[in-house]
C-alpha cells in the first residue's frame, strides 16, 4: 500500500494500481453501477493530455523531459495498454472531475515510472493549462463525433435498402389506411419510398446537429476565461488536437457560453430522438402489416429469425422490429434525461455532463446497432404478399373514392354503403347499374389510376 494525500486527507492506495487518491475516492463515492466511463471519452481525454503536453512544452511552461514522458504514457494508453486503470464511473458528481483526474493520475504515474528520478504531477504537469471544465466537455464532444460514423453508415445503408424495396414493390397496389381504417389505394413502392425519405431527413438532421459539436471550449479552463493557461497554449491547443485526431474541432465563439451551456448537446440528442421516433413508427408499421398470418393483415412477410413461443408450435414473432422499438424507447427516454440535465446547469458550469455524455454515446451505439440489424435481418429480406394485397384492394369499398369526380361525393358515398351492406364489389355494382361503361370502369379501377400515377380526363372525353 502507498499513502496519498489530498485536500480531504490521507488515504491508503493499493500499490499495484496506476490511478491515485482521487480515482479511489470516486470508486467509493459513486457505486451507482459497474459501468465505467465510455472508452471513447477516455480516449479523447488522453488525446487532449498528449496534445497539452506538446503545446505546453512548446510554450516553455512544461519541462521537455516531462512532456516526452507524458506523451509516451498517453501513447501506451492509446495503444490499449493499462485499460484496467481507467475505471472512473460513468455516472458521477463533480462535472467529470473524476474522469479527468483518473486520466491525469494514470498518465502521471506512467510518466514518473519512465523518468524514474523525476516525479510527474497529475495536476501541475499532466493537467497544466487545463480544467475539467474544458477538457471533459471537449472530450465528450470528441467522443460523440467519433461514435457518429457507424450510425450514419448504418442509416445510409437502411435508406439504400428501402429505396431498393421501393423499386421492387413499385407495382404492388395495396389498400391505404388512415386511423387504421381503409383509405384510398397506394403502392408498396410508395410506402417504402416514403420510409426512405423519412430517414434521409433524419440523416440530414444528425449531420447538421453534429457540426455544432465541433465547436469546443478547450483553452477556456475553469469558466471560459482561460485562467492559468498561457496565451500560446490557448491559441495552439485545438490545432494540436486536430493534428492528433482529425475531427475538425474549432474554438467556440464564446468560451464562457460554451463552458456553461449544453444546448448543442440537447440539439444533437434531439436529432437522435427524432431518428428513434421515426424508427419506432416504421417498426410499428412492419409489425402491423405482417400481423397474422391467419388473423392479421398478412401483407408483409418478415424474415423468420427464431421461434416465437415456448408453448405455441410454429409461432414466429417480428423480433427485429420489436427490438428496434425498445431501442427507440430507450433513446427517447435518454433525451428526456439529457434535456433535464442541460436545464439543471447553474451559472458558469453544468455539473451534469457525465449523464449527458453517457446517454448520448450509448444512444449513438444503440441506434447504429439497431438500424444495422433492422436492415440486414428484416428489411433486406422482407417480401410482399401480392395476392393478399390484390384481394384487399378489390374488396375495399373506399377504392370507389376515385368515382367522386364523376358521380359526386354523395352518390359515391351511397354506392360505397350499398357495396359494404351487400358485400358486392364496387365495379360489379357500377356494371349492374350501368352508371359507367365497362371500359371506363376498367380504367378508373386500374392500379395506375387508383394510385394517382395516371389521371383520367373529363368524363365526356374519357368515355370517347
From the candidates 98, 230, 291, 309, give the one annotated as an active-site residue: 309
If DSSP states are collapsed to H, E and C, what string results for the chain? CEEEECCCCEEEECCCCCCCHHHHHHHHHCCCCCCECCHHHHHHHHHHHHHHHHHHHHHCCCCHHHHHHHHHHHHHHHCCCCHHHCCCECCCCHHHHHHHHHHHHHHHHHHHHHHCCCCCCHHHHHCCCCCHHHHHHHHHHHHHHHHHHHHHHHHHHHHHHHHHHHHHCCCCEEEEEECCEEEEEEEHHHHHHHHHHHHHHHHHHHHHHHHHHCEECCCCCCCCCCCCCCHHHHHHHHHHHHHHCCCCCEECCCHHHHHHCCHHHHHHHHHHHHHHHHHHHHHHHHHHHCCCCCCCCCCEECCCCCECCCCCCCCECCHHHHHHHHHHHHHHHHHHHHHHHHHCCECCECCCHHHHHHHHHHHHHHHHHHHHHHHHHCHHHCEECHHHHHHHHHCCHHHHHHHHHHHCHHHHHHHHHHHHHHCCCHHHHHHHHCCCCHHHHHHHCCHHHHCCCCCCCCHHHHCC
Give the span between the Cα atoms of 391 and 393, in whole angstroms: 5
Closest CA to 380 of 196, 190, 160: 160
CB 300 within 8 A of CB 286: yes
Residue 309 annotated as catalytic: yes
Residue for grid cell 347499374: 433
Name the grid cell of 459: 368524363
Please identify every residue annotated as catalytic: 309
Amino acid at each position: 500500500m502507498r499513502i496519498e494525500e489530498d485536500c480531504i486527507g490521507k488515504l491508503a492506495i493499493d500499490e499495484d494500481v496506476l490511478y491515485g487518491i482521487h480515482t479511489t475516492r470516486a470508486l467509493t463515492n459513486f457505486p451507482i453501477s459497474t459501468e465505467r466511463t465510455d472508452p471513447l471519452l477516455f480516449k479523447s481525454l488522453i488525446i487532449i493530455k498528449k496534445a497539452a503536453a506538446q503545446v505546453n512544452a512548446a510554450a516553455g511552461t512544461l519541462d521537455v523531459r516531462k512532456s516526452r514522458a507524458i506523451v509516451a504514457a498517453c501513447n501506451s494508453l492509446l495503444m490499449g495498454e493499462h485499460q484496467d486503470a481507467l475505471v472512473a464511473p460513468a455516472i458521477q458528481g463533480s462535472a467529470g472531475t473524476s474522469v479527468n483526474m483518473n486520466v491525469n493520475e494514470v498518465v502521471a504515474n506512467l510518466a514518473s515510472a519512465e523518468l524514474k528520478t523525476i516525479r510527474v504531477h497529475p495536476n501541475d504537469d499532466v493537467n497544466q493549462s487545463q480544467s475539467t471544465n474544458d477538457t471533459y466537455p471537449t472530450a465528450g464532444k470528441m467522443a460523440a463525433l467519433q461514435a457518429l460514423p457507424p450510425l450514419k453508415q448504418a442509416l445510409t445503408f437502411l435508406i439504400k435498402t428501402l429505396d431498393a424495396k421501393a423499386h421492387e414493390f413499385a407495382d404492388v397496389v395495396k389498400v391505404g389506411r388512415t386511423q387504421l381504417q381503409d383509405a384510398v389505394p397506394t403502392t408498396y413502392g410508395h410506402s417504402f419510398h416514403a420510409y426512405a425519405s423519412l430517414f434521409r431527413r433524419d440523416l440530414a438532421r444528425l449531420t447538421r446537429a453534429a457540426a455544432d459539436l465541433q465547436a469546443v471550449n478547450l483553452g477556456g479552463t475553469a469558466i471560459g476565461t482561460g485562467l492559468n493557461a498561457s496565451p500560446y497554449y490557448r491559441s495552439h491547443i485545438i490545432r494540436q488536437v486536430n493534428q492528433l485526431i482529425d475531427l475538425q474541432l474549432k474554438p467556440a465563439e464564446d468560451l464562457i457560453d460554451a463552458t456553461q451551456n449544453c444546448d448543442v448537446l440537447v440539439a444533437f440528442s434531439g436529432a437522435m430522438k427524432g431518428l428513434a421516433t421515426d424508427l419506432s413508427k416504421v417498426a410499428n408499421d412492419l409489425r402491423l402489416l405482417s400481423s397474422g398470418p391467419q388473423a392479421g393483415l398478412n401483407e408483409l412477410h418478415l424474415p423468420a429469425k427464431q421461434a416465437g413461443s415456448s408453448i405455441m408450435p410454429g409461432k414466429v414473432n417480428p423480433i427485429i422490429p420489436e427490438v428496434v422499438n425498445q431501442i427507440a424507447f430507450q433513446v427517447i427516454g435518454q433525451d428526456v434525461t439529457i434535456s433535464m440535465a442541460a436545464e439543471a446547469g447553474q451559472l458558469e458550469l453544468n455539473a451534469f455532463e457525465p449523464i449527458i455524455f453517457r446517454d448520448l454515446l450509448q444512444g449513438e451505439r444503440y441506434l447504429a446497432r439497431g438500424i444495422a440489424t433492422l436492415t440486414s435481418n428484416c428489411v433486406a429480406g422482407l417480401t410482399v404478399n401480392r395476392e393478399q394485397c390484390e384481394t384487399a384492394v378489390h374488396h375495399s369499398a373506399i377504392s370507389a373514392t376515385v368515382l367522386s369526380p364523376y358521380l359526386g361525393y354523395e352518390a359515391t358515398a351511397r354506392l360505397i354503403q350499398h357495396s359494404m351492406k351487400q358485400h358486392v364489389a364496387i365495379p360489379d355494382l357500377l356494371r349492374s347499374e350501368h352508371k359507367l361503361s365497362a371500359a371506363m370502369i376498367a380504367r378508373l379501377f386500374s392500379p395506375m389510376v387508383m394510385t394517382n400515377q395516371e389521371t383520367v380526363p373529363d368524363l365526356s372525353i374519357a368515355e370517347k
